[in-house]
């Protein structure tokens, strides 16, 4: 059989693109391949599960464009498929006057992006959750929620199989002998490597950042809503925060620790010497040149390997919480680096060849955006095919 589309990667992006293609044309023959034995083994199954509202991103970004719709579409998919959505809401807190200005900047972005948010006082914060600590003001987001990302991905796999989509697990792109008319590269941390085989992604490489999470093992009622710090908007990371999960548990994280190979989750598991040499080269270059203040970011984040420092960052946002935190599986955020400018790319990036499309940078909030982003990707694929058929 010759497939109309071969999708590499069975994370949330690969699967929502398959879903969108089938929605538009149910007769398409689509295969999804993955080097792992099941879906969502990497970023899609190891993320926070937070459905973001969309106020962090600059108005002209693809992230801003798709987060609001993505949040709504993901909730609709969950409702239709009996997946519980925990409407946690979110409060962004400030530590000082400078961060209060950051609160106002986020509110400004929210208004431009059409996101419902509200600046609230310390008194109003106390009414929502008396344990939260903020300086003068905070930003309230009513539409932030949490889902179980693995549950979403497993259900999506079922739905796609019912639609006639074939999954081939334990099948890497290099080892696949499936015939196809058009390739869609959604390979996450390895998307740049596949794109480079097609003569693309020449200016890019993916750098891995390790996201460590800790779960609070004591009283679930100690925190009532998601609590976030004001982020440094110059880099793509949101800082250590509290997430209320679907079962009401509390977890803190993630870190953004520079990792040394692409699947550097724990210890020496999945160790890859060649990747380590390549990644250390770029990380050392960023450290020496101090691009986007990488030196400070790297030093601060490496400290998070000491759990007491990591926990203290979370404690600074509340009046009282215990010390009983236990580790849960880490995630890797594959962040695109522009090798020419030495900058981390903040937005989603697509590149095309004649018969292929490559999603090179699908970082947070890609899970939230996925159903809306998939519509955009399929539109771009149709445009690319049209341009090549003229």
**pLDDT band, residue 220 (cuts 50/70/90):** confident
Give the model confidence (pLDDT) of 257-298 as tens digits: 999 999 999 999 999 999 999 999 999 999 999 988 899 999
CB 30 within 8 A of CB 18: yes
pLDDT, greater one: 217 or 366 = 366
Q: Is 3.40.50.620 the CATH number for 2-389?
A: no
**Residue matched to tokens 């979370």:** 314
> From CA 358, how far away is CA 36, in angstroms rounded?
20
Which pLDDT does position 233 carry in this prediction? 80
Angle at CA 92, nearest 5°, toward 88 and 97?
165
Which pLDDT does position 236 carry in this prediction? 79
Classified as helix, coil or strand, 383 is helix
> From CA 104, how far away is CA 135, in angstroms rounded?
13
- 388 pLDDT higher than 90: no
Give the model confidence (pLDDT) of 81-102 as tens digits: 999 999 999 999 999 999 999 9
E strands, the chain, where? Answer: 2-8, 30-33, 50-51, 90-93, 118-121, 137-141, 145-146, 166-168, 179-185, 204-216, 226-229, 241-244, 250-253, 257-258, 325-338, 343-344, 349-353, 356-361
pTM for the model stands at 0.96
Which pLDDT does position 197 carry in this prediction? 97
- 390 pLDDT higher than 70: no
Output the CA torsion 113→117→122→123 (10° steps).
Answer: 160
Tokens of 59: 């108005």
Which pLDDT does position 304 carry in this prediction? 92
Give the model confidence (pLDDT) of 331-353 as tens digits: 999 999 999 999 999 999 999 99
> From CA 49, how far away is CA 366, in angstroms rounded?
11
CB 132 within 8 A of CB 318: yes
Tell whether omega for the bond before 119 is within 30 degrees of 0, i.e. cis. no
CA dist list (Å): 143 to 55, 67, 127, 226, 244: 11, 11, 18, 11, 14
**Pairing relationship of beta strands 137-141 and 118-121 according to DSSP bridges:** antiparallel
Which pLDDT does position 5 carry in this prediction? 98
Mean pLDDT, the chain, whole residue set: 95
Classified as helix, coil or strand, 15 is helix
Tokens of 187: 């390979």
Here the contacts of 287-296 (C-beta below 8 Å, separation 24 or greater) are 289/342, 291/342, 291/343, 292/234, 292/235, 292/342, 292/343, 292/344, 293/234, 293/235
CB 100 within 8 A of CB 77: no
- Percentage above 90 pLDDT, the chain: 93
Give the model confidence (pLDDT) of 196-214 as tens digits: 999 999 999 999 999 999 9
CA dist list (Å): 201 to 53, 144, 186, 194, 266: 30, 33, 14, 9, 28
> From CA 301, how far away is CA 294, in angstroms rounded?
10
Kindly state the average pLDDT of the residues 234-240. 85
> From CA 337, how far away is CA 204, in angstroms rounded?
6
- 363 pLDDT higher than 80: yes
Kindly state the average pLDDT of the residues 111-124. 97
């Amino acid at each position: 059989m010759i497939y109309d589309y071969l999708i590499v990667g069975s994370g949330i992006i690969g699967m929502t693109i398959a879903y969108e293609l089938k929605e538009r044309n149910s007769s398409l023959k689509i295969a999804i391949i993955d080097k792992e034995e099941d879906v969502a083994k990497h970023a899609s199954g190891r993320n926070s599960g937070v459905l973001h509202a969309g106020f962090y991103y600059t108005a002209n970004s693809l992230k801003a464009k798709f987060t609001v719709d993505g949040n709504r579409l993901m909730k609709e998919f969950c409702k239709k498929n009996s997946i519980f959505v925990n409407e946690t809401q979110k409060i962004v807190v400030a530590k000082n006057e400078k961060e209060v200005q950051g609160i106002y900047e986020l509110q400004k972005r929210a208004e431009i992006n059409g996101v419902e948010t509200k600046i609230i006082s310390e008194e109003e914060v106390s009414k929502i959750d008396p344990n939260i600590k903020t300086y003068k003001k905070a930003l309230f987001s009513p539409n932030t929620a949490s889902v179980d990302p693995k549950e979403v991905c497993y259900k999506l796999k079922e739905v796609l199989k019912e639609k006639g989509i074939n999954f081939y697990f334990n099948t890497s792109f290099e080892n696949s002998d499936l015939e196809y008319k058009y390739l869609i590269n959604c390979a996450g941390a390895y998307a740049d490597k596949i794109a480079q085989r097609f003569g693309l992604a020449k200016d890019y490489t993916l750098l891995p950042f390790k996201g460590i999470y800790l779960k609070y093992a004591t009283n679930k009622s100690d925190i009532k809503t998601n609590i976030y710090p004001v982020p440094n908007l110059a880099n793509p990371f949101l800082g250590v925060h509290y997430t209320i999960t679907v079962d009401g548990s509390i977890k803190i994280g993630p870190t953004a620790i520079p990792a040394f190979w692409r699947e550097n989750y724990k210890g020496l598991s999945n160790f890859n010497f060649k990747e380590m040499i390549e990644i250390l080269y770029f990380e050392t270059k960023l450290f020496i040149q101090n691009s986007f203040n990488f030196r400070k970011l790297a030093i601060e984040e490496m400290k998070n390997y000491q759990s007491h420092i990591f926990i203290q960052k979370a404690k600074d946002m509340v009046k009282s919480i215990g010390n009983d935190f236990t580790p849960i599986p880490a995630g890797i955020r594959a962040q695109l680096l522009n090798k020419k400018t030495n900058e981390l790319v903040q937005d989603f990036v697509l590149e095309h060849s004649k018969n292929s499309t490559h999603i090179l940078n699908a970082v947070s909030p890609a899970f939230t955006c996925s159903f809306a982003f998939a519509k955009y990707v399929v539109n771009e694929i149709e445009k690319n095919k049209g341009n090549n058929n003229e």
